[in-house]
Amino acid sequence: MNRRKFMLAGAALGVAGYLFKPNDKGMPYNDYFTKVNQQLKRSGPYLPSMLVDLDLVDDNIAALSQVMNPNVDLRIVAKSVPSPELLGYLMDKANTNKLMVFHQPFLSHIALAYPKSDVLMGKPMPVQAAKVFYQNLNDQNQFDPKTQLQWLIDSEERLKQYLALAQSLDQHFKINIELDVGLHRGGLQQGDELDTLITLIENNDQFLSFSGFMGYDPHIVKIPSMVKSAEQAYQESQAIYKSFIDRLYTLNSHYKEQQLCFNGAGSPSLIMHKNNTLANELSAGSCFVKPVDFDLPSLSAFKPAAFIATPVLKKMKGTLLPAIEFAQNIFPLWDPNMQQTYFIYGGKWLAQYESPQGLQGNGLFGTSTNQEIVNSSKKVNLEVDDHIFLRPTQSEFVFLQFGSLITLRNQQMDSQWPILKQG
């Protein structure tokens, strides 16, 4: 490269650098997180903690009435709020005893903690896991699976396994059938599959009874609108649901007189069911705490209510990285959001930085579950022992990484509620 080309390339790089230079995104805490940080510094555990703000949860319970069809029941999705106390709080405030459960150890726990609950399994459990549930039940347990629990079945093979289990235990199982209403995650797709299952159930009515359908449809609000409108996707999923109900009634009109459970929706698609739905109950869980993945137009009435708080352990000037120490003060010239480096207690959660604003990870240093690096501009004026706040992208797995959650009232720590154990 001759001198002229070199100069030109340098100038081009300079212009590109100027055009793409990051802005200073840093800001101090807002009022809310200033108060929560002060409170945690006064009486917090100085550990990575999962906070749930009950005032904001209350707002979300109120928001639910804006999107919920008033003629149907609510079933709370336990995996999305996996703390027995939080579940109890929501059941109480939202006035429902219906839960959707996805994990055998949670089912065993709920049967003990909430013996009056009505449970629908949200996924088809391997039959061996179902067997463990019955083995764990004891005589003192007031939960009666015969009337209070619906197992979810997605195929003839699984139904035969459950029949064999019911026979071996001399128990009666309520069977809810999963329908594929367009999500394609599982469930019946063809009407004749229903005929086979219903025949098997009716031929073994001392062990099995049909209790309803579950058709989960969150895809309807996620399909790009240029492919299909949410309304069109909803109508199509309802048409599939209806074809199975019609077929059921044709198979045996007795079902029309029975109190069956027609479960539908999830937080993202609740609103689509508001005016007209085939379902007689709708499921929701995540909307009560609204993690980042639920920042959807269909949930705009809801507020984030769960945050990870974790203390700052170390604070350094610039960005000092192994083997490129010379660049410590050069990085901030390019990106003002690298003027400061913090190391925090823990890290690498499925979560996004929430407060103070303008925190970012460092791809060159990498990530850590032990002490995560966080960069920011000087405007983020944190000190050691202040807290960084993150918003989980989803609640169901992230909550389980914490032993308990800390509830807040008026931005003050209120109680400590255990989180369900995974195993």
Ligand X SMILES: Cc1ncc(COP(=O)(O)O)c(C=O)c1O
Least distance between ligand X and beta carbon 246 (Å) = 22
Contact yes or no for 258/291 (Cβ under 8 A): no
Q: Does residue 150 interact with ligand X by CB under 6 A? A: no
Residue of 182, 187, 266, 332 that binds ligand X (CB under 6 A): 266
Q: Does 392 bind ligand X (CB under 6 A)?
A: no
Return the residues of window 20-79 that contact ligand X according to CB under 6 A: 77
**Which one of residues 37, 39, 60, 80 is an interface residue with ligand X (CB under 6 A)?**
80
Q: Which of 286, 339, 375, 376 binds ligand X (CB under 6 A)?
A: 286
> Which range touches ligand X (CB under 6 A), out of 234-242, 283-291, 325-333, 337-345?
283-291
Q: Using alpha carbons only, give the angle 62, 67, 72 rounded to the nearest 5 degrees.
A: 95
> 314 — alpha (psi -120 to 50), left (phi > 0) or beta?
beta
* Least separation in angstroms between CB 33 and ligand X: 25
What's the min distance (Å) between Cβ of 173 and ligand X? 19
CB closer to ligand X, 46 vs 397: 397
**Residue 94: CB minimum distance to ligand X, A:** 13
Give the nearer residue to ligand X in terms of CB position, either 37 or 267: 267
Among 49, 108, 150, 283, binds ligand X (CB under 6 A): 283
Nearer to ligand X, 77 or 159 (CB): 77
**From CA 181, how far away is CA 242, in angstroms rounded?**
10
Find the part of the chain contacting ligand X (CB under 6 A) among 126-134, 229-237, 285-293, 336-344.
285-293
Shorter beta-carbon distance to ligand X: residue 29 or 151:
151
d(CA 355, CA 368): 19
Please identify, among the stretches 57-65, 251-259, 277-285, 404-412, the one whose residues bind ligand X according to the rule CB under 6 A.
Answer: 277-285
Asked if 356 and 337 count as a contact pair (C-beta separation under 8 A), the reply is: no
Q: Write down the least CB distance from residue 114 to ligand X, Å.
A: 18
User: Per-residue contact track with ligand X, 106 to 125, x per CB under 6 A?
Assistant: ----------------x---
What part of residues 211-240 is at the interface with ligand X (CB under 6 A)? 216
Distance of CA 393 to the CA centre of its chain: 8
Residue nearer to ligand X on the CB measure, 183 or 312: 183
- How many other C-beta atoms can be found within 10 angstroms of the C-beta atom of residue 399? 25
Distance CA 408, CA 406 (A): 7
Looking at the Cβ atoms of 237 and 375, the one nearer to ligand X is 237
Cβ atoms 265, 283 nearer than 8 A: yes
Q: How many residues bind ligand X (CB under 6 A)?
A: 12
Work out whether 339 is an interface residue with ligand X (CB under 6 A): no
Structural tokens at position 171: 């128990």
Pick 14 or 126: Cβ nearer ligand X: 126
Measuring CA to CA, which residue among 197, 129, 113, 112 is closest to residue 157? 197
Give the residue with the Cβ less far from ligand X, 75 or 109.
75
Separation of alpha carbons 401 and 399, rounded Å: 5
Rounded to a whole number of angstroms, the minimum distance from the CB of residue 304 to ligand X is: 14
* CB nearer to ligand X: pick between 82 and 356: 82
Identify any residues that bridge with 51 across adjacent strands, giving them in sequence order: 307, 406
Tokens at 251, concatenated: 């198979």
DSSP character string of 299-362: GTT----EEEEEEEEEEEES---TT-GGGTTTHHHH-GGGSEEEEEEB---SEEEEESTT-B--
Provide the 3-class DSSP secondary structure of residue 400: helix
Q: Min. distance of Cβ 232 from ligand X in angstroms?
A: 21
CA gap 284, 272 in Å, rounded: 13
Choosing from 40, 284, 351, 419, the residue that interacts with ligand X (CB under 6 A) is 284
Name the CA radius of gyration of the chain, rounded.
26
**Other Cβ atoms closer than 10 A to 97:** 15
285: DSSP letter? -
Contact residues: ligand X, CB under 6 A? 77, 80, 100, 122, 216, 266-267, 283-287
